[in-house]
Amino acid sequence: MELIQRPRRLRGNEAVRRLCRETRMSPDSLIYPIFVDETLSGRRPIEALPGQYHYGIDAVGQAVEECLANRVTHCILFGLPREKDACGSSAWAEHGVVQEAIRAIKARYPDFYVITDVCMCEYTDHGHCGILSGHEVDNDSTLEVLAKTALSHAQAGADMVAPSDMMDGRVAAIRAALDEHGFQNVPILAYSAKYASAFYGPFRAAAGSAPSFGDRKGYQMDPHNRKEALKECQLDIAEGADIIMVKPALSYLDVIRECADSFDLPLCAYSVSGEYAMIKAASAAGLIDEYRIMCESALSVFRAGANMLITYYAKELSQAIRKGDIG
């Protein structure tokens, strides 16, 4: 048979397959979530997230060492405070859990890149992402405390701040506070298209951040909506975001693709706790090959257009990339 085009020519062996890959990954594009518990000394397994740990401030260096041993050089910090109140005041305390974790990391590993999650849900006694007015989150009064929190992280040495609250106008408020205090060079990674997803359950158990009443559908995005994600990204960019994010990842690959095509800013995706927990559970039941599913799932996010990925599998994915199994 005379065939001019034979696509299989470029699939014939591993060398040519690697040469012709359209999507490439690097350990530099992976961000590892670290949970720091102010009440803890050492580390403690997180039941809801097999293989993940809570770290005390005295042990957070261990998490960083494990990242660096696997050539993962970026993390995002989540804090579990000793005390909570209605306005989440420990979120911006000078010696709060995230602030002290930043200092502990930077004292030993000054070049390790520390991103901080900026939200109120882990710090409020009601578990919502802002200041309440009755049973509703008051958008505008929340902006002030978000800005104070982001500023406190920068003052403690954070390399980047990442507001995840989904309040309108929070990027502009944080940018103004950072600039006013001399932190013009601290970037903002905005959780721009964060959906009100059912995939967050294990994280909320790990971070102690489940709302005590109601839900977050009044400020996080409706999973039915695609165009709204473009609007949210556009607004965040106009307010000064340096990187935009789509969260979750796997169920929103279409949104990642459209945002990547529509905007020139770097795009982050968050492979969230529920995605990780499902793979772990299916693997434990003997139903899947965890390693291959881990690789294929991450690859799909980058193929959709993400430039970077927050993932609980960051260390394992880095190993897979270096082995040539992915990337």
**In terms of C-beta density within 10 A (0-12 exposed, 13-18 middle, 19 or more buried), how is residue 290 classed?**
middle
Nearest to 289 by CA among 195, 297, 139: 297
Q: What is the dihedral of CA 101, 104, 108, 110, to 10 degrees?
A: 60
Task: Clarify whether 194 is annotated catalytic.
Answer: yes
Which of 84, 247, 280, 315 is catalytic? The answer is 247
Q: Is 82 left (phi over 0), alpha (psi -120 to 50) or beta?
A: alpha
Strand-pairing partners, residue 136, are 133
Q: Which of 84, 106, 148, 194 is catalytic?
A: 194
Sequence-distant (6+) residues with CB within 8 A of 325 are 291, 295
Q: Is 247 a catalytic residue?
A: yes
The tokens for 51 are: 């293989």
CB 209 within 8 A of CB 203: yes
Please give the positions annotated as active site: 194, 247
